[in-house]
Amino acid sequence: MDAKTQQQYAETFHALHRKGDPLVLFNAWDAATAKAIAKTSPAVATSSGAVASALGYADGENVPLDMLTGLVSRMTAAVPVPVSIDLEAGYGDTPEAAAKSASDILKAGAVGINIEDGLSEGKRQLVSPERHAAKIKAVRDAAKDLGVQLFINARTDPFLLKFGSPDECMNEAARRAKVYAEAGADGIFVPGLTDLALIEKFVQLTPLPVNIMVTQGVPALPDLAGVGVRRVSLGPWPMMAAMRIIGQAAAAVAATRQYGTFLQPGG
């Protein structure tokens, strides 16, 4: 991908985070799913859990970075829309490591990343907001050096890691969002935040566009749009649904010794 096209994709991706009309990301895990999604979606994003599962790894930065960047290159070459990559915690515990990882992802053609504060030293634990902010700043500087207006979606995990009561989790997420915004983040991603009243309050407290992940109990899209959410991610659920359908189809073929309605040769 040439630099001009990548920057155009980056600008487009930023503009898709609109009030009243959130960007809905049906997350992909390989080039084939990216192509299928891009037929009807204005952007493609990965789920780290889905990518890891597809490649035979556990989630949590276990996919080798060079394998991930190769996947990004194939995905960005396959689709004519912006691509955002779940970079987990930046593939390293230092700002320098995160900047290097983000640079590799950018060179592979991506224009957005997620980078989370709930993974450190291979463990699921909240790092200090200042430590995560240092990563965000280093990534921002690296993107500037490459001339790309990278969309940095800062993920914060108080809800997932059960920091406290729902109100305490929301307040901690809001506190971190302000720190991450000052460091150069473009969005704030809060997995596990599902209560509509808390989502509305969080949107009011943070200066960043809010990203909500679909999980059990998440409000309907019109309700999320109504309280100001600008991005909604389906996370690993599309892959889990696809694998469930494949498993059921395989079981049916094994049991009936027939192809099934959608497995007819030449169909």
User: pLDDT of 28-75, one tens digit each?
Assistant: 999 999 999 999 999 999 999 999 999 999 999 999 999 999 999 999
3-class secondary structure, 74: helix
**Is 177 in the same domain as 263?**
no
pTM of the model: 0.95
Residue 163 pLDDT greater than 70, yes or no: yes
**Is 192 in the same domain as 118?**
yes
Contact between 135 and 169 (Cβ < 8 Å): no
Terminal-to-terminal C-alpha distance of the chain: 35
What is the per-residue pLDDT for 26?
98
Name which of 87, 105, 115 is nearest 183 in CA terms.
115
**Is 172 in the same domain as 248?**
no
Name which of 175, 215, 208 is nearest 193 in CA terms.
215
**Is 107 in the same domain as 130?**
yes
21 by Cβ neighbours in 10 Å (0-12 / 13-18 / 19+) ranks as exposed
**Is 50 in the same domain as 172?**
yes
**Is 169 in the same domain as 198?**
yes
The per-residue pLDDT for range 217-248, each reduced to its tens digit, is 999 999 999 999 999 999 999 999 999 999 99
What is the per-residue pLDDT for 262?
64
The DSSP symbol for 260 reads: -
User: In which band, very low, low, confident or very high, does the pLDDT at 249 lie, cut at 50, 70 and 90?
Assistant: confident
| Structural domain range at position 96 | 3-235
Q: Where are the beta strands (DSSP E) in the chain?
A: 23-25, 44-45, 83-86, 112-116, 151-155, 187-189, 210-213, 231-233
**Is 229 in the same domain as 242?**
no
**Is 262 in the same domain as 227?**
no
